[in-house]
Amino acid sequence: MSALIETLSLLHPVNRSLSPATRISMRRMIGPGLLVAVGYVDPGNWATDIAAGSSYGYTLLGSVLLASLLGLLFQTMAARLGMATGEDLAALTRRLLPRSLTVSAWMASELAIVATALAELVGGAIALRLLFGLPLQAGLIVAAMGTLAIMALSQRRQRTHEYVVSALLAVVSLPFVYLLIKASPAAQDVLHGLASSGDIFGNHGMLAIALGIVGATVMPHNLFLHSGLIAERSKELPAHERPMALRVVETDTRVSLLLATLVNAAMLMVAAASLAHLSRPVQSLDDAYHAIALTLGSGAAVIFAVALYAAGQSSAITGVLAGRILSQGFRGRASRTWLRGIATRLAGVCIGFVLLAARPRMGADTLLVLSQCVLGVALPFALLPMLMLARRRDLMGQYGFGRIFMALAAAGTAVVIVLDGYLLLTAFG
């Protein structure tokens, strides 16, 4: 909180210690954290949070907090890497790391971008089915067209993307404030759930969902996106302004991810308070919609579906931006955001159609699970290069991390790899 107050005081117009140009430069560093935060409330997170709350009450609330702390750790590293070097993670990997690792990271990251597109489109399609009764295949197409329409309207100025995403994030966040108030979770039950977090190790089903929460939170494309956005905005900064800019960036990251953490916690608590005691288990987003309609009313269910659609659209926009940065960094030349958006949406729709045609009984939530598994496989290919680069003092200079931070980052990477491996084994074993 003190860092937030310090940053706001630095940017306040009445602060005469900063020149107008410096204040403008510092304000430009605010926003990337918000774009990253929407990846923490995408449809994959919805599925895991609601499954956790409806099945095990508040016990897995601690897992949401742990996943958010891991996300903050890695996003801080990605942002500082972009600030220190003026290059994004993809470009640094291509320039400084072995070619075999670069190619592997590139292929895995492109696969993750498509998997992310699939998850966001499926989430949007589920929402459209709940709201208007559209078939899933038609919903995939409409959701893709919606994303492209938003990108077309905001393509002239990148800052416009932040305004659009901010509005969509508000549409995601505010409904859960309403649903949380309506569900009225008991504070005593919430605290008891937090105190019982250790129980997950004695329950296989609970552990699997806890691992899913972590796997759905830390996403590879967010690391490329964050480092790229900070690198782009910090290139013109003079050396004496960079330390101040870094404080602004890290505060922006903390505040934005705190908001995402609160939304995830609210999702789980709404599910725990209103769905956990039903006789019929809640196993999908469709089940959650109908259960909320039963327990909180049809209006609350409609709000739930609208928020789900907004979550898919906001995450889809940031996925397109991440794809542009990733492609430009690994290829060494610029690519058009519009073309990337069309390509990834088309790939996501085609994959969704093929999977649904090959497996007619495959549900939309199964597609979400598959996309999260793909992201889990791709994540180490982003984390390991980032760790290798961030530990280099010659590269990071005065912005290098201390030993404790790097030890935590290495431990966090190991935890994520183990958890993702376990998820894959349980999904396909």
Residue 171 and residue 5: Cα distance in Å, rounded?
Answer: 26
How far apart are alpha carbons 112 and 175 in whole angstroms? 29
pLDDT surpasses 70 at 371:
yes
pLDDT above 50 for 341? yes
Provide mean pLDDT across the span 30-38: 88
Longest Cα–Cα distance in the chain: 65
Please report the pLDDT score of residue 13 as a whole number: 45
Q: Are 41 and 383 in contact (CB under 8 A)?
A: no
Q: What SS3 class is residue 291?
A: helix
Span of 22-26, 185-189, 215-219, 303-307 with lowest mean pLDDT: 22-26
Q: Mean pLDDT in the chain?
A: 84
pLDDT band per the 50, 70, 90 thresholds, residue 5:
very low
CATH topology of domain 31-428: Amino acid/polyamine transporter I (1.20.1740)
Note the pLDDT of residue 400: 92
Determine the Cα–Cα distance for residues 244 and 21; give it in Å rounded to an integer: 14
For 36-87, the pLDDT digits (tens) are 998 888 888 888 888 888 888 899 999 899 889 999 999 999 999 999 999 9
pLDDT confidence of residue 10: 53
Token duo for residue 255:
């505040």
In the prediction, which pLDDT does 114 show? 87
More confident residue, 338 or 343: 343
Is 21 or 33 the better-scoring residue by pLDDT? 33
Cα-based angle 417, 422, 426 (whole degrees, multiple of 5): 150
Separation of alpha carbons 64 and 41, rounded Å: 11
Average pLDDT over residues 117-132: 90
Q: Which of 36, 57, 79, 19 is nearest to 241 (CA)?
A: 19
Digit-coded pLDDT (tens) for 404-415: 999 999 999 998
How confident is the model over 193-210, as pLDDT tens digits? 888 877 777 777 787 788
Neighbours of 141 (CB within 10 A): 17
| Structure tokens given for 422 | 């376990």
What is the per-residue pLDDT for 278?
74
Per the model's pLDDT, the better-predicted residue between 121 and 227 turns out to be 227
Residue 368: its pLDDT value, please? 79
Share of the chain above pLDDT 70, in %: 88
Q: What is the pTM of this model?
A: 0.88
Mean pLDDT of 350-361: 76
Map residue 135 onto helix, strand or coil: coil
Per cent of the chain over pLDDT 90 is 32
Task: Return the domain boundaries, the chain.
Answer: 31-428
Identify the pLDDT of residue 4: 47
Is the per-residue pLDDT at 14 higher than 60? no
Distance CA(339)–CA(280), nearest Å, equals 45
Task: Say if residue 7's pLDDT is above 70.
Answer: no
pLDDT of residue 290 exceeding 60, the answer is yes
Burial state string for 69-93 with b = 16 or more CB within 10 A and e = fewer than 16:
ebbbbbbbbbbbbbbbbbbbbbbbb
Give me the DSSP letters along 179-222.
Answer: HHHHH---HHHHHHHHHTGGGGGG-HHHHHHHHHHHHHHS-HHH
Report the distance separating Cα 400 and Cα 390, nearest Å: 7
**Average pLDDT over every residue of 139-159:** 76
> How confident is the model at residue 188, as a pLDDT?
92
Q: DSSP per residue over 359-386, as a string?
A: -TT--HHHHHHHHHHHHHHHHHHHHHHH
> What is the predicted pLDDT for the residue at 2?
45
Q: Which tens digit of pLDDT belongs to each residue from 87-120?
A: 999 999 999 999 999 999 999 998 888 888 888 8
